[in-house]
Amino acid sequence: MATLDTPAAEPRGRREAHKAATRKALQEAAHRMFEERGYARTTVRDIAAAAGVTERTFFRYFPSKEDLVLDEVLDLIPVVRAKVVARPAHEDPYAAVLGAAVEVAAGGGVGLMFSGPPQHFPGQQARQFLPVLSKFEAGLADALLERLAARDPENATPLRAAVLSRAAVGALRSALFAYTALPEEERTPGAAHELLVEAFGHLRQS
């Protein structure tokens, strides 16, 4: 019986589909296990076993557990951008980002956002995380600039969109850190939602 570990002596299109399926299986397994056990207590071996592959296969797709997190953040950029652009036109920038974040979280697409990733990536991972964070902020800034141009074209500048984007990402990260500080039994979708709303409420009051 074929498994996700089966070598692909098959046409290129089928091999690419197999690789994509394996990658997705690893990401979905990681998401499930981070929710069940938390990030710190989940090992690469756990993720590989849950996805039905070997540790060796895991490392063909991701150099480390942290890289899997970063990869999922990159995958989220176009998703969040599209949802921010699609939010109702009357919403202000922060309301649009909050609404998009809640939508993505409710659909399970946030993956690792509220399942216990580390607050800080040490050493080499920190240097990897900063470019990914910058790309996320840039994608969000593009979405906000598009919304500003439609709503308030005279004040729709790249700098304004960038400032709003970085402030919104700060609120998202603060909600994440507050969530990971909760006792494990209190980490629920409802708690994540409440922290998002509270974080953006503080942003508006500042």
CB within 8 A of 136, min separation 6: which ones? 73, 74, 76, 77, 80, 169
Q: How many Cβ atoms sit within 10 Å of the Cβ of residue 2?
A: 8
- Please state at what angle helix 12-37 crosses helix 44-51, rounded to 10 degrees: 120
**Residue pointed to by tokens 């141009």:** 149
- Please state at what angle helix 124-151 crosses helix 158-180, rounded to 10 degrees: 130
Summarised one tens digit per residue, pLDDT across range 108-137 is 555 455 554 444 455 455 555 677 788 889
Q: Quick one: tokens of 193?
A: 């939602």
34 or 48, which is more confident: 48
Amino acid at 200: F
196 within 8 A of 98, measured Cβ to Cβ: yes
Q: How many Cβ atoms sit within 10 Å of the Cβ of residue 32?
A: 15
Summarised one tens digit per residue, pLDDT across range 143-172 is 999 999 998 899 899 999 999 999 999 998
Mean pLDDT, all residues of the chain: 83
- Percent with pLDDT over 70 in the chain: 83
Whether the CA torsion 8, 11, 14, 15 is positive or negative: it is positive
Q: What is the reported pTM?
A: 0.73
